[in-house]
């Protein structure tokens, strides 16, 4: 019997299996950031252990950094201490740090791929659930807790139960105005925020094959929002084309050798998956969420569900709670509803392609006067690129505020927050209560739908602007 | 990690589904560089109005003094979202040693076990039975036998935990101890991989 992409990589990294216990998995690349690493550094120090393979760990500061005036000391004391601690820890333990002020600084899941660090066939972990992003290259990439960060520091391995593997096939041509963010919001709305718990997901099918690497990253990024440990896509010519000549990608003979290995990775034709789902691209329309988990999404022109339509009592109570928090009425339409904020950023949608797409829609237009629009590039390099391409002029003329790289208002941790009670159309990944700040109301959508709302000031069907 | 073999306690019911780790501990409280002190911010925005300890939301269960115990019982899909281990630290620091639910998110489950908090996954029916118990009723969780019992009625259910993790919990061992002990194997593995190139 053939093997899946997942099995091939997992088996190659299996150090040993503990009987009636987890597997010991070897980790090729470990990304760290300021929030989930300090306790792991103290942990190994307390045990008197060195960092076992420091050259396999890469650090950046992203979650807890301001996105303006990054050259100045961080104003908030606890944030400043946390970022400073990362600098000290990396220095002491010989870890490469792309911290504030470094030309490679940025959101951890943006910089790995952009620098060519993320490669097919690797095992990649990070103390952040959106590590699944890196799976777009055909790697096993997943988020871990701080104790597991400490395990990787101490031994370059973690203990992990082998997950089941699900394949999600999407075939067909995407409709106008529909992008990869809509695909993943659509899938999550169909299978729920816990529909893939216990699984690793491989995305396949003609729709996925036709997507760019950046679009694929958006899909893999949100795998965790349906409970999956990670998402992955088999590498192909699009992958290699994206990677070639990136700073840390293999070069010359090494590239050729690696390429031969990578081409053996895709799932064998007779490989068996624990579960398989299929969707048609033609059925997908621009999506938006209305609730407080990413599974509560609808197509842009449909209505919020009525409570009577939900049979299960627990789910009905949950829905009532979510709608109350969101300030929405059961059965209401979202289209035409005023929004006060548009957030363009996060590890889901802050790559150059996202920003080019938005610029192409808003060129020559101005934002609605009642909306505050933030554009937070995923990395310093993305920011430099938008300036090099002149996109900054388009954003500035439209009244969009361009910030510096970081996680920003995706998670309500740093200075960037959405005010309580206000609505925000966000290109990020989570609409949990308080996620973008206490009381903030998040509507997740694609960069296109976010750009449309920025211009009109209300929830808008992007297809009406494209006509 | 402290050894954990048996818990008998009253419980705190939180019959809400899909409790994500941003609710358990909001991101703005993740700025500490130590593992301690997160309990005071457990469910912070469900506990207080305007983030103000002087303005408790009196209908929230953690603010009702009559509900206490070292077991938290919550609706299905507990711990979804962010990988922040701070969620497990906050639960432990508050004084819970077990979380009972009908479904757990994967990363939370690992994080809980790595901190000596036992995630007890029960059936929907059993969870409903617990939620319907009178306040003050006690539950017994027996790690060795992998069972949870409603003391008043004797009704019991088995829960899943692999033998390795069970041994760790009962003896207070952690995964890092285990991995450090097999470092030789890891070095040999690296050599073998190098040799393949």
Q: What is the mean pLDDT of residues A101-128?
A: 98
What percent of chain B is predicted at pLDDT more than 90? Answer: 96
pLDDT for A53 equals: 98
Classified as helix, coil or strand, A448 is helix
Q: What is the DSSP letter of A135?
A: G
Tokens 């962010």 belong to B82
Q: What is the mean pLDDT of residues A77-92?
A: 97
Among A146, A198, A413, pick the best mutation site for testing chain B contact (most B Cβ within 10 A): A146
Confidence of residue B196 (pLDDT cuts 50, 70, 90): low
For residue A240, is pLDDT > 80? yes
Signed CA dihedral, B130, A296, A377, A245: sign only: positive
Residue A193, chain B, CB below 8 Å: the answer is yes
Q: How does pLDDT run across B132-143, given as a tens digit for each residue?
A: 999 999 999 999
Q: What is the DSSP letter of A206?
A: H
Q: How far apart are CA A455 and CA A458, in angstroms?
A: 8
The pair of structure tokens assigned to B142 is: 């027996």
Residues of A with Cβ-Cβ distance to B185 under 8 angstroms: 15-16, 24
pLDDT for A406 equals: 98
Q: How far is CA A34 from CA A149, B3, B85, in A?
A: 12, 30, 14
Residues of B with Cβ-Cβ distance to A432 under 8 angstroms: 20, 22-23, 81
pLDDT for A188 equals: 98
For residue B150, is pLDDT > 80? yes
Q: What is the mean pLDDT of residues A147-152?
A: 98
Neighbour-count burial for A189-214, b at 16+ CB within 10 Å, e otherwise = bebbbbbbbbbbbbbbbebbbebebb
**What is the 3-state secondary structure of chain B?**
CCCCCEEEEEEEEECCCCCEHHHHCCHHHCCCCCCCCCHHHCCHHHHEHHHCCCCECCCCHHHCCCCCCCEEEECCCECECCCCCHHHHHHHHHCCCEEEECCECHHHHHHHHCCCCEEEECCHHHHHHHHCCCCCCEEEEECCCCEEEECCCCCEEECCCCHHHHHHHHHCCCHHHHHHHCHHHHHHHHHHHHHHC
Taking CA atoms, what residue in A is nearest to B87? A145
pLDDT for A467 equals: 73
Mean of per-residue pLDDT scores for chain A: 97
Of B15, B22, B178, the CB nearest to A434: B22
Among B175, B185, B190, B193, pick the best mutation site for testing chain A contact (most A Cβ within 10 A): B175
Neighbouring residues of A28: CB distance < 8 A, sequence distance ≥ 6: A13, A56, A122, A123, A124
Contact A163 B106 (CB under 8 A): yes
Contact A39 B33 (CB under 8 A): yes
Report the candidate in B82, B78, B80, B95 with the shortest Cα–Cα distance to residue B30. Answer: B82
Confidence of residue A178 (pLDDT cuts 50, 70, 90): very high
Looking at the complex, report in whole angstroms how far the Cα of residue A143 sits from the nearest Cα belonging to chain B.
6
Q: How far apart are CA A106 and CA A99, in angstroms?
A: 8
Q: What is the DSSP letter of A29?
A: E
Taking CA atoms, what residue in A is nearest to B184? A155
Neighbouring residues of A61: CB distance < 8 A, sequence distance ≥ 6: A33, A34, A83, A86, A97, A99, A100, A105, A406
Tokens 């004084």 belong to B95
Mean of per-residue pLDDT scores for chain B: 96
The pair of structure tokens assigned to A100 is: 């504030």
Looking at the complex, report in whole angstroms how far the Cα of residue A243 sits from the nearest Cα belonging to chain B.
21
Q: What is the mean pLDDT of residues A399-404?
A: 98
The pair of structure tokens assigned to A295 is: 């599974």
Contact B186 A15 (CB under 8 A): yes
pLDDT for A400 equals: 98
Please name the residue ranges forming H helices in A211-312. 213-221, 237-243, 252-262
Q: How far apart are CA A224 and CA A194, in angstroms?
A: 9
Tokens 């059936």 belong to B123
Confidence of residue A213 (pLDDT cuts 50, 70, 90): very high
Q: What is the mean pLDDT of residues B59-76?
A: 97
Burial class for A11, CB neighbours closer than 10 Å (0-12, 13-18, 19+)? exposed
Q: Which residues pair with A230 in a beta bridge?
A: A200
Determine how β-strand A372-375 pairs with β-strand A275-280: unpaired
The phi-psi region of residue A360 (left if phi > 0; otherwise alpha if psi is between -120 and 50; otherwise beta) is alpha
Residues of A with Cβ-Cβ distance to B28 under 8 angstroms: 412-413
Confidence of residue B197 (pLDDT cuts 50, 70, 90): low
Contact B85 A145 (CB under 8 A): yes
**pTM of this prediction?**
0.97
Q: How far apart are CA B89 and CA B84, in angstroms?
A: 9
Taking CA atoms, what residue in A is nearest to B80? A227
Confidence of residue A320 (pLDDT cuts 50, 70, 90): very high
Between helices A380-388 and A352-362, what is the axis angle to 10°? 40
Report the candidate in A438, A35, A435 with the shortest Cα–Cα distance to residue B20. Answer: A435
Which of 372-411 (A) contact B at CB < 8 A? 411
Q: What is the mean pLDDT of residues B48-67?
A: 96
Contact A157 B186 (CB under 8 A): yes
Q: What is the mean pLDDT of residues A251-262?
A: 98
Q: What is the complex's ipTM, to 2 decimals?
A: 0.96
Q: What is the mean pLDDT of residues A389-397?
A: 98
Q: What is the DSSP letter of A296?
A: -
Q: How far apart are CA A137 and CA A144, in angstroms?
A: 19
pLDDT for A1 equals: 86
Q: Which residues pair with A201 in a beta bridge?
A: A166, A231
Q: How does pLDDT run across B117-136, given as a tens digit for each residue?
A: 999 999 999 999 999 999 99
Q: How far apart are CA A253 and CA A261, in angstroms?
A: 13
Q: What is the mean pLDDT of residues A260-286?
A: 98
Taking CA atoms, what residue in B is nearest to A320? B16
């Amino acid at each position: 019997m053939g093997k899946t992409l997942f099995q091939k990589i997992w088996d190659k990294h299996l150090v040993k299996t503990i009987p009636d216990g987890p597997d010991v998995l070897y980790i090729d690349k470990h990304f760290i950031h300021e929030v989930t690493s300090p306790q792991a550094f103290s942990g190994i120090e307390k045990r008197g252990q060195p960092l076992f393979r420091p050259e396999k760990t890469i650090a950046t500061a992203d979650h807890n950094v301001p996105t303006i005036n990054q050259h100045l000391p961080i104003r908030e004391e606890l944030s400043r201490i946390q970022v400073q601690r990362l600098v000290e820890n990396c220095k002491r333990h010989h870890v490469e740090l792309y911290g504030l002020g470094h030309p490679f600084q940025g959101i951890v899941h943006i910089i790995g791929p952009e620098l060519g660090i993320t490669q097919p066939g690797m095992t990649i972990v990070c103390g952040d659930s959106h590590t699944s992003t890196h799976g777009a290259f055909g790697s096993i990439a997943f988020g871990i807790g701080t104790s597991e960060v400490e395990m990787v520091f101490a031994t370059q391995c973690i203990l992990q139960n082998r997950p089941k593997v699900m394949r999600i096939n999407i075939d067909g041509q995407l409709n106008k105005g529909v992008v990869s963010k809509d695909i993943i919001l659509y899938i999550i709305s169909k299978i729920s925020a816990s529909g893939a718990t216990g699984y690793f997901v491989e995305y396949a099918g003609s729709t996925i094959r036709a997507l760019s690497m950046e679009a694929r990253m958006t899909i893999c990024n949100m795998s965790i929002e349906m409970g999956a440990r990670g998402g992955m896509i088999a590498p192909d010519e699009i992958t290699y084309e994206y990677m070639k000549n990136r700073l840390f990608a293999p070069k010359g003979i090494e590239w050729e050798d690696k390429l031969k290995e990578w081409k053996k990775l895709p799932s064998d034709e007779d490989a068996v998956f624990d579960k398989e789902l299929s969707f048609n691209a033609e059925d997908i329309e621009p999506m938006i969420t209305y609730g407080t988990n990413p599974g509560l999404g609808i197509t842009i022109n449909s209505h919020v569900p009525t409570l009577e339509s939900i049979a299960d009592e627990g789910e009905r109570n949950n829905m009532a709670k979510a709608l109350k928090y969101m300030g929405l009425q059961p059965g209401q339409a979202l289209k035409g509803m005023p929004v006060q904020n548009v957030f363009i950023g996060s590890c889901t949608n802050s790559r150059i392609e996202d920003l080019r797409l938005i610029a192409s829609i808003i060129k020559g237009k101005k934002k609605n006067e009642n909306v505050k629009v933030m554009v937070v590039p995923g990395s310093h390099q993305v920011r430099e690129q938008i300036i090099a391409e002149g996109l900054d002029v388009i954003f500035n003329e439209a009244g969009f505020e361009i910030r510096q790289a970081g996680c920003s208002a995706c998670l309500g941790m740093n200075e960037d927050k959405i005010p309580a009670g206000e609505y925000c159309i966000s290109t990020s990944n989570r609409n949990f209560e308080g996620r973008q700040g206490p009381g903030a109301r998040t509507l997740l959508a694609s960069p296109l739908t976010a750009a449309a709302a920025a211009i009109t000031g209300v929830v808008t069907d992007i297809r009406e602007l494209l006509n | 990690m402290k050894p954990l073999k048996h818990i008998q306690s009253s419980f705190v019911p939180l019959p809400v589904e899909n409790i994500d780790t941003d609710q358990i501990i909001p991101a703005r409280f993740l700025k500490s560089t130590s593992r301690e002190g997160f309990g005071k911010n457990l469910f912070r925005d469900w506990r207080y109005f305007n983030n103000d300890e002087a303005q408790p939301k009196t209908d929230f269960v953690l603010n009702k003094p009559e509900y206490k115990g070292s077991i938290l019982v919550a609706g299905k899909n507990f711990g979804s979202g962010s990988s922040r281990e701070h969620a497990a630290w906050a639960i432990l620091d508050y004084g819970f040693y077990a979380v009972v639910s009908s479904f757990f998110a994967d990363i939370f489950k690992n994080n809980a076990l790595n901190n000596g908090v036992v995630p007890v996954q029960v059936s929907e029916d059993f969870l409903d039975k617990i939620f319907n118990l009178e306040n003050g009723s006690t539950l017994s969780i027996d790690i060795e036998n992998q069972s949870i019992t409603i003391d008043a009625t004797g009704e019991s259910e088995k829960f899943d935990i692999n033998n390795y993790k069970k041994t760790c919990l009962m003896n207070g061992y952690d995964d890092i101890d285990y991995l450090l002990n097999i470092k030789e194997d890891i070095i040999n593995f690296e050599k073998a991989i190098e040799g393949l190139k």
